[in-house]
Structure 1
Amino acid sequence: MTHSFVKTTMAVMLLGGAASMAVAQSRVQLYGIVDAAVRSTSNHGKTQMVGGGMSQSRWGINLTEDLGGGLSVIANLEDRFLTDTGNTAAVNYFQQAWIGVRSKDLGQLTMGRQFNVLLDVVASTYASFPYGPFMEVYKPEIGFAMGTRTNNMLKYTADLGTWRAGLQYSFDEGNTVAKKGSSVELTGVLAMKTAGGYLRYEANGLAIGGAYLNTKMPGSTEFDAYTLGGSYRSGPWYFSTGYAMNQRKSTLAVEDARLINAYWGTEINGGFQSGDSDKRQLLQLGVGYQITPQLNFGMHYYHAKQSGSSSGAFNNKANFIVAIADYAFSKRTDAYMGVDYTRVSGGGGSYIEKTATGDLVRNRAGITIGLRHRF
């Protein structure tokens, strides 16, 4: 009997160990996008290759460990790169780097460098293009997303049936004016103290959502950012609309002027130099049509207004329009052609580009042809 008892006990222990190993299973997923395009713009007066026309090229790793009981550990590392040169696309090697826990019933909590709530709701709810969600070389809507990513962030998200909600808070360690460098370094390296959230609803082809984010910059300048919009899918049709606003709440510090100009003033994000303005608004309208199972056509219009400049030089308006034809060779590979036009008007402080001779470019047309593969 003793021998039988020992064998039974050992069998139970082995089965228990096997069950524990089965519960705590890990999964590693490699994913990415490789995108390259040829782009010609009237203001540059030349044709050049760009390392990502429709999407920024990237590779990343998703990690998941099932802990059992509906609980899992999740993590992500993602690097963005330029296909034309092989260089990293930003000062941060990893554009995303986070770890967290996910509960089947309670939602998920993640920590690290992540997308902010503004981008979360725009990309998931009223993207400019359903296969995009926006065009990498022409994305005025992203200029209103306060940098799109935030360091040192805690983010909580929960799915409640047709509703999804998210909250973010980020710590501002190292967020001092003593760390100022170039605007690119600042946007990539410094931590911003942020707090915000979003709420979205999706059912029967309709998606509606909005988000709010408060940001405190290194020089203590404070901004509020809002966005609200929706989309509707019906058969081959896709319609979307959205509104965004950035509002400065305090005196603009010199260090922070360079930061907000990096958000607002880059050529692909709209071409507005912020100057002494304190408010920006954007209205966007889009439509898309799936012509065949492979061919999609989409068009998007944006109208932006910048105000609050006491000098008047930075009180401006801008109009943007982009149209894209996308052909899918397969589920993973597509080719695209896009044409776009930008016009900036109003005070003389804002422009798309300054030429080598000092002339200000305030109108621009562009054409982009590229190839993209997802894995």
Structure 2
Amino acid sequence: MKKATLILSLLAASTSAAWAQSSVTMYGIVDVGVRYLSNSGTVPGTGALWQVVPGGMSQSRLGFNITEDLGGGLKAIANLEHRLNSDTGTVAAADFWRQSWVGLQSADFGRITVGRQYNVLFDIYTSTYASFKYSPYIEAYKPEIGLSMGARQDNMVKYMGEMGGLRGELQVSAGEGTGPNKSMGGLLRYQMGDFALGGAYLEVTEVNGKKATGGTFGGAWSSGPWYVNASWATNKFDAGGILGGAYTAGLIGSGVLNAAANDVKQRDMYAAGLTYQLTTQLNLGGHYWHADQTHYVVGPATSKADYFAAVADFAFSKRTDAYAEVDYTTFSDGYVKLANSATHRYGATVGLRHRF
């Protein structure tokens, strides 16, 4: 009887130890802001809009990180992340899980992940030359993310390896079903002290064989209270493709730089920004973007847009902060306009964000 009790105790202890090597971490962001936009109507010169937005600085989300230690420096990893509208409690997108992947991570050989995940353009933006130090971008006003070609790809296999300050990524996606999901791309990033440099390239093939390509290069310097970044990005679209509008709809959150009939040939964006930590709690930041695009058939040969945003972010704690943001957008060369034919727009957002 004593032997049986001892054996059961040892089994229970070993089982507890095995389970202790696995972990599931729930995380999330709840962000709600009040936003003002000028020139939001359909009548020229009118249409001021006030609204509660489900994320001024960050899109609200709920996610799960899963890790299991397999021994020998090998881990099984997985992620599920859902985006939600915090102002209404509804689903933020048709894809309930905005990320859903599983993979293996080795201390010696890097990691490989499979499923729906961020693409290499988004990875290089947010990891190497994010627009603001305290938040990669402004959710309510994010021109730079409009050139990341959707930010995510389905059916993706992605490999990441690191050696010292050098990081590389490769991605491929199968062209399954009727969606434009076939992709291939890579990134290279180098961190040296206060400096980080990197670039990425992505090619996506549509179901009709047309291609859309994206590339970006940039860098950032961070020292003490200062953070400075600069970048360049480009998108190119084959004539007759469908992605000229689909992949750039988030250029400033309302898609106004999309070209009619998806006739964008090429779009380039140059950007630079500065963040300064004024106190332990208060961060101030500004960012400027300039975009040029050429067209196949509609309107003049080129069109331009300029964007500017300034943000003050006050941290009540490590998890909770309040922010105030102002932005300005202007279009030139007469082709791209707002729905009410205006060529400029003012915006402002104040909000509260909690991360857990």
TM-based fold match above 0.5: yes
Alignment partner, residue 325 of structure 2: 338
Are 1:216 and 2:205 counterparts? Answer: yes
Q: 1:327 aligns with which of 289, 309, 314?
A: 314
Query: What is the distance in 2 between the residues matched to 1:241 and 1:295?
Result: 23
Query: What is the distance in 1 between the residues matched to 2:59 and 2:38?
Result: 22
Q: 1:145 aligns with which of 144, 148, 152?
A: 148
Pairing of 1:193-232 with structure 2 (within 5 A): 193-232=182-221
Q: 2:224 aligns with which of 232, 235, 249?
A: 235
Query: What is the distance in 1 between the residues matched to 2:69 and 2:75?
Result: 4
Alignment partner, residue 90 of structure 1: 93
Contact 2:239 2:263 in 1 (8 A): no
For residues 248-297 of structure 1, the C-alpha deviation after alignment (integer angstroms, 9 at most, x for no partner) is 2x3323xx1xx431322444266212342210000000001000000000
Q: 2:245 aligns with which of 245, 248, 261?
A: 261
1:18 to partner: Cα distance: 5.6
Query: What is the distance in 2 between the residues matched to 1:129 and 1:270?
Result: 22
Alignment partner, residue 75 of structure 2: 72
Letter in structure 1 aligned against 2:181: M
Letter in structure 1 aligned against 2:120: V
Query: What is the distance in 2 between the residues matched to 1:136 and 1:18?
Result: 47
Are 1:122 and 2:125 counterparts? Answer: yes
Query: What is the distance in 1 between the residues matched to 2:240 and 2:15?
Result: 56
- 3-state DSSP of counterpart to 1:97: strand
Contact 1:321 1:342 in 2 (8 A): yes
- Over 3 Å counting, the alpha-carbon distance change for 1:222 and 1:117 in structure 2 is same
Query: What is the distance in 2 between the residues matched to 1:277 and 1:119?
Result: 21
Q: 1:271 aligns with which of 245, 248, 256?
A: 256
Unaligned ranges ≥5, structure 1: 1-6, 177-189
For residues 288-334 of structure 1, the C-alpha deviation after alignment (integer angstroms, 9 at most, x for no partner) is 10000000000000000001434444621000000000000000000
Contact 2:180 2:205 in 1 (8 A): no
For residues 121-145 of structure 1, the C-alpha deviation after alignment (integer angstroms, 9 at most, x for no partner) is 1000000011110000100001100
1:20 to partner: Cα distance: 7.8
1:205 to partner: Cα distance: 1.3
Q: 1:252 aligns with which of 240, 260, 267?
A: 240
Higher helix residue share: 1
- 3-state DSSP of counterpart to 1:129: coil
For residues 88-135 of structure 1, the C-alpha deviation after alignment (integer angstroms, 9 at most, x for no partner) is 110000000000111111011100000000000100000001111000
1:232 to partner: Cα distance: 0.3
Query: What is the distance in 1 between the residues matched to 2:12 and 2:211?
Result: 54
- Over 3 Å counting, the alpha-carbon distance change for 1:269 and 1:288 in structure 2 is farther
Unaligned ranges ≥5, structure 2: 41-47
Are 1:38 and 2:34 counterparts? Answer: yes
Contact 2:77 2:102 in 1 (8 A): yes
Query: What is the distance in 1 between the residues matched to 2:9 and 2:192?
Result: 47
1:172 to partner: Cα distance: 1.1
Contact 2:110 2:162 in 1 (8 A): yes
Q: 1:22 aligns with which of 17, 36, 40?
A: 17
1:21 to partner: Cα distance: 6.2
Alignment partner, residue 374 of structure 1: 355
- 3-state DSSP of counterpart to 2:97: coil
Contact 1:140 1:269 in 2 (8 A): no
Query: What is the distance in 2 between the residues matched to 1:101 and 1:20?
Result: 22
Query: What is the distance in 2 between the residues matched to 1:315 and 1:347?
Result: 9
Letter in structure 1 aligned against 2:152: R
Contact 1:194 1:213 in 2 (8 A): yes
Query: What is the distance in 2 between the residues matched to 1:361 and 1:261?
Result: 20
Query: What is the distance in 2 between the residues matched to 1:310 and 1:160?
Result: 47
Contact 1:314 1:347 in 2 (8 A): no
* TM-score, normalization by structure 2: 0.91
For residues 325-344 of structure 1, the C-alpha deviation after alignment (integer angstroms, 9 at most, x for no partner) is 00000000000000000001
- Over 3 Å counting, the alpha-carbon distance change for 1:105 and 1:20 in structure 2 is farther
Contact 1:29 1:63 in 2 (8 A): yes
Q: Percent identity?
A: 47
Query: What is the distance in 2 between the residues matched to 1:15 and 1:162?
Result: 44
1:78 to partner: Cα distance: 0.4
Query: What is the distance in 1 between the residues matched to 2:301 and 2:17?
Result: 61
Contact 1:216 1:222 in 2 (8 A): yes
- Over 3 Å counting, the alpha-carbon distance change for 1:116 and 1:327 in structure 2 is same
Query: What is the distance in 2 between the residues matched to 1:99 and 1:30?
Result: 16
Higher strand residue share: 2
